[in-house]
């Protein structure tokens, strides 16, 4: 069995990117990342096949991401406050340093419907269609359909 430290070394950057795909606010991204890591730590004893660690980790991460989105939606509804989905991230200097096109892509990915956001995020983490399917509990062919639809929507958002 791998330790949480080894998992963080291997998958930490991917988990952080996944958290960013579910949450735009950097502070809430950090909270979500910590929540994901805690859930992985708790679930590690149930891992049966170490060779399936990647899908195991990302399934937990996506489940926590979905829970986070649902919780935030309930909070927003309760407060009845409209929140800007693209908060100011530090001014033009930060956009130039971080790469404006990269920011545009990340914002576009966050605007995708959840099923498409999930497959694109996992695809960007170099998971195969079969691994993505295992992670999300869908067939590899369904993954392909979602990827194609997500790419079409991203292209439309980024071209428009």
Tens of pLDDT, residue by residue over 49-87, are 888 899 999 999 999 998 888 887 677 666 543 444 444
Q: How many residues does the chain have?
A: 160
Task: Determine the topology of domain 4-159 in CATH.
Answer: Butyryl-CoA Dehydrogenase, subunit A; domain 3 (1.20.140)
C-alpha span between 132 and 4 (Å, rounded): 22
41-47 CB contacts, 8 Å cutoff, 24+ apart: 41/4, 44/1, 44/2, 44/4, 44/7, 45/1, 47/1
Say what the pLDDT of residue 24 is: 86
Name, in order, each residue with C-beta under 8 angstroms of 98's C-beta and a sequence gap of 6 or more: 89
Query: In b/e form, how buried is each residue of 81-97, taking b as 16+ CB within 10 angstroms?
Result: eeeeeeeeeeeeeeeee
Say what the pLDDT of residue 151 is: 94
Say what the pLDDT of residue 83 is: 41
What are the sequence ranges of the domains in the chain? 4-159
pTM given for the model: 0.67
pLDDT < 50: residue spans in the chain: 80-89, 92-98
C-alpha span between 110 and 1 (Å, rounded): 33
Say what the pLDDT of residue 79 is: 59
Query: How many C-beta atoms surround the C-beta of residue 79 within 10 A?
Result: 9
Cβ pair 120, 147 in contact under 8 A: yes
């Amino acid at each position: 069995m791998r330790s949480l430290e080894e998992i963080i070394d291997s998958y930490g950057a991917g988990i952080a990117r996944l958290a960013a795909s579910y949450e735009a606010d950097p502070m809430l991204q950090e909270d979500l990342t910590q929540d994901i890591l805690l859930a992985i730590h708790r679930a590690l004893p149930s891992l049966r096949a170490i060779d399936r660690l990647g899908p195991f980790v990302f399934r937990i991460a996506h489940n926590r991401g979905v829970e986070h989105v649902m919780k935030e939606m309930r909070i927003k509804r309760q407060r009845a406050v409209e929140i800007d989905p693209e908060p100011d991230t530090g001014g033009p200097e930060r956009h130039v340093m971080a790469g404006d096109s990269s920011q545009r892509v990340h914002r576009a990915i966050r605007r995708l419907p959840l099923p498409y956001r999930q497959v694109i995020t996992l695809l960007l983490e170099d998971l195969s269609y079969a691994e993505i399917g295992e992670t999300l509990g869908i067939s590899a062919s369904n993954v392909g359909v979602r990827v194609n639809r997500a790419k079409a929507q991203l292209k439309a958002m980024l071209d428009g």
